Amino acid sequence: MPSLLFRRGSHVTAAVTHLRGADRKLNWLIDRAGPFTLKVNRDRYGMLVRSILSQQISTKAARAIRLKLEASVGGLTPAAITAASDTTLRAAGLSAQKVTYLRDLTLHVSDGRLALQRLHRLDDEAVIEQLIAVKGIGRWTAQMFLMFSLGRLDVFPYDDLGIRSSLRELYGLSDLPTKAQSLEIAAPWQPYSTIASWYLWRLSDLKIDPKMDASQYPV
C-alpha cells in the first residue's frame, strides 16, 4: 500500500527534491508556485460530496455551490443531506443529476455498503473499486478521494481537464495530451505523482488568482 502523504514533512521534502531533479519543466513550476500546502481532508464523506460537486465545472463555481449547500443544509453530513429536500439541494446550485449522485452516496454510507472509515486499509485500486459502485462516482472522483482524503502518494488523474490543460501549456503541446502522452510525461514523477499533479493545478491558479488557498483542493 502506498505511504500516506502530508503527515511528515520529510515526505514532501523528498517528493519535491525528486520532482525538481526528474523534470526541468516541473522544476520551473515549483519555483513559480511556491511551497506545497495541500492538507488531507479527514472528512471522508464531505470529501466525496465536494468531489461530486466539482465534476465538470470550474473550481470557482464548485466552491460557490459548496458554500451555499453547506449554509442551506447545515453541513456536509449524511444526516444533513438525507434531511434536505431535492428542492433545497437544487436551490444551492446542484443539477438534478448531482442530486441523484448525492442521494446514492448517502444511501451507500448510511446502510454500510461503503465503509468509509475502513478504506485506508485498502490499496489504491481496491479503494477505487469500492467507490465506483456508487452512482456518479467514476475513476476521477475516486482518485480525488485517494489524493485529498487518504493522502496517497502516487496518484495521477491523467484525464482531468485541468491537468491536461496545464500539461499542454507547460510542455508546449499543440493540443490537449492524450492518455498515452500524459502517462509518458508523468512517468518520471513516480512515486510522487500526487504532488506533481497538485503543482499542475496551481499553474491555472497562478493566472487566475495567485493568492488562492490551494490547501483545500478540490473545492
Q: What share of the chain is helix, strand, coil (3-state, %, to 5)?
A: 65, 0, 35
Distance spanning both ends of the chain, measured CA to CA: 27
Beta-carbon contacts of residue 199 (< 8 Å; ≥ 6 apart) = 19, 26, 29, 30, 33, 36
CA distance linking residue 20 with residue 212, whole number of Å: 23
Catalytic residue chosen out of the listed positions 124, 154, 160, 175: 160
Active site residue 213: no
Closest CA to 197 of 66, 51, 29, 50: 29
Q: Which residues are catalytic?
A: 160
